[in-house]
Amino acid sequence: MSNDIRSLEPRSIWKNFADLNEVPRPSKKEERVIQFMKSFGEKLELETTVDEIGNVIIKKPATPGMENREKVVMQAHLDMVHQKNADTAFDFDSEGIRMVVEGDWVKAEGTTLGADNGLGVAAIMAYLESDTLVHPAIEALFTIDEETGMTGAKELKPGSLTGKILLNLDTEEDNELTIGCAGGIDVTMTGDYVQEDVPSEHTAYNVIVKGFKGGHSGMDIHLGRGNANKIMNRILSHLNNVGLRIAGINGGGLRNAIPRESFATVTVPNDAISTFESKIDGLSKVILTEYELTDPEATILIEETKTPEKVMSISEAKVLLNAVYACPNGIYRLTPKIENLVQTSNNLARVLVEDGKYTVMCLTRSSVDSEKEDLANTIKAAFSPTGAEVKFSGSYPGWAPRPTSEIVAMMSDLYKELFNEEAHVNACHAGLECGILGRFYPDMEMISFGPNILGAHSPEERTQISSVQKFWGFLNKTMERIPEVK
């Protein structure tokens, strides 16, 4: 792995990316990667600080002849989404990512790759350690916990930065210049339920939904991929009339990843087993046909299992299944301002039913704060009949586009000059830290760009080698053309 990756061009990026991917760095467990980045800056004898929340800031003076240019904030986040296939043996807390080269692509073996946002981090590291690249004064900002709350950006102290231009290296299509993004809010439902003994003459089964593509719950929400939580709920709801009892459900994971898998343990009256199996078979064929284009590897199956100790009461199971059925998922509204851009959406990210308690987790996104709040309240209303406690948390604002800013004009012209085509200047439905940082630095000009990354937040994550080369050349020319201080 290491030799293949480190020999790719530009070596300065791939070397740093390989080093970074040897460090476990899940969101909210960034202690090791914070120390890694702190040591990196200190070894270069650059001014390096770690703030109270864990953000790392490394400052580097301008190269000769660039002292009169505007100072640039180069920004990326240190954490990565940890997702793996169910049949992949891998410990994110102790192992480095196992990377492989496949043609023009780099991917990982059954896990997320960490290109989001590791390639941005690696590109900034390459600038900090270079003695040949031309650049103005740099403030490198490496934030923590972007993926599960944007905590680093939220807790950054005002006055920590003095740069006038911010380059956020955290988008995933190399022909795009992103100048706006959606905000988000976490919606969490929790409650208790009555546990009952498993009825006599029942047989236990595992219901398994897996192999769906998943993906980024913002950037990929418009692709119509199956949500394993919704599909599992559909199956269980349609089997209620065979006397099915629910012992547990474990579906999805992180809020910002479209659920790929869901597992349920149920019991079925012995005299209804043939009906149960027939209904499962028929419904599975219908569902898999619906998703044959978006999720061709998906499977739905059942297997007999050990009888559980307890099951959920019939009445409470029905109410909870109805609430999950009613919970919005996917696109809620497209923006009327930009063609085919999602304005508001919800991802039903997690459903957990076990030991007398249930938890349902959503991530609601919108570039319009009032609509984000309205959709969150819609979800709350769907769960009202369950008596669940509903909490809103982790709200962060969107980033309002400023298409006439100087950095947008300069980079748009530069892109056309270099690649003989127009860049796609747009906003995205993902959450970027620019919206939060903009609250503290309202006069800072900000833009986001990056190389091609497909399947972010899923084990299908991969990045294109030729696109990283294109991104690197574009970044180099951008740094050379940063405008003079006015």
Residue 485 lies in a domain: no
pLDDT tops 60 at residue 2: no
Residues 97 and 108 sit within 8 Å (Cβ to Cβ): yes
Concatenating the DSSP letter of every residue in 394-448 gives EEE--B---TTSHHHHHHHHHHHHHHSS--EEEEESS--THHHHHHH-TT-EEEE
Asked if pLDDT for residue 34 goes beyond 90, the answer is yes
pLDDT at 401: 87
Q: Domain boundary residue among 371, 395, 419? A: 395
Domain identity same for 178 and 242: no
pLDDT at 107 (0 to 100): 97
For the cut 60, the answer to whether the pLDDT of residue 31 exceeds it is yes
Confidence (pLDDT) at 3? 57
- State residue 1's pLDDT score: 42
CA–CA gap between residue 149 and residue 186 (Å, rounded): 9
Whether residue 337 has pLDDT greater than 80: no
Looking at 352, 371, 395, the residue that finishes a domain is 395
Average pLDDT value for the chain: 95
Identify the helix (H) or strand (E) that includes residue 338.
Answer: none
Span between the terminal Cα atoms of the chain, in Å: 47
- Its domain, for residue 436, covers 2-182+398-480
Determine what percent of the chain is predicted with pLDDT higher than 90.
Answer: 90
Shared-domain flag, residues 223 and 360? yes
- Statement to judge: residues 72 and 133 lie in one domain: yes
More reliable by pLDDT, 10 or 240: 10
How far apart, in Å, are the Cα atoms of 304 and each of 200, 238, 460? 16, 19, 30
Q: 203 and 141 in one domain?
A: no
- Model pLDDT, residue 431: 85
* Total domains, the chain: 2
Q: Flag whether pLDDT at 26 surpasses 80.
A: yes
Residue positions annotated with a catalytic role: 79, 146
Please write the tens of the pLDDT for every residue from 444-471: 999 999 999 999 988 999 999 999 999 9
Tell me what percent of the residues of the chain surpass a pLDDT of 70.
99
Note the pLDDT tens digit of each residue in 410-436: 999 999 999 999 999 998 898 899 999
pLDDT category at 400 given cuts 50, 70, 90 is: confident
Question: Region 373-399: what's the mean pLDDT?
Answer: 95
* Mean per-residue pLDDT, 162-180: 96
Question: Are both 411 and 454 inside the same structural domain?
Answer: yes
How confident is the model at residue 486, as a pLDDT?
86
Let me know whether 389 and 409 are in one domain.
Answer: no
Domain boundary among 395, 410, 440: 395
- 279: which 2 tokens? 């209904």
Strand pairing partners for 426?
A: 178
Contact 209, 261 (CB under 8 A): yes
Q: What is the mean pLDDT of residues 179-184?
A: 92
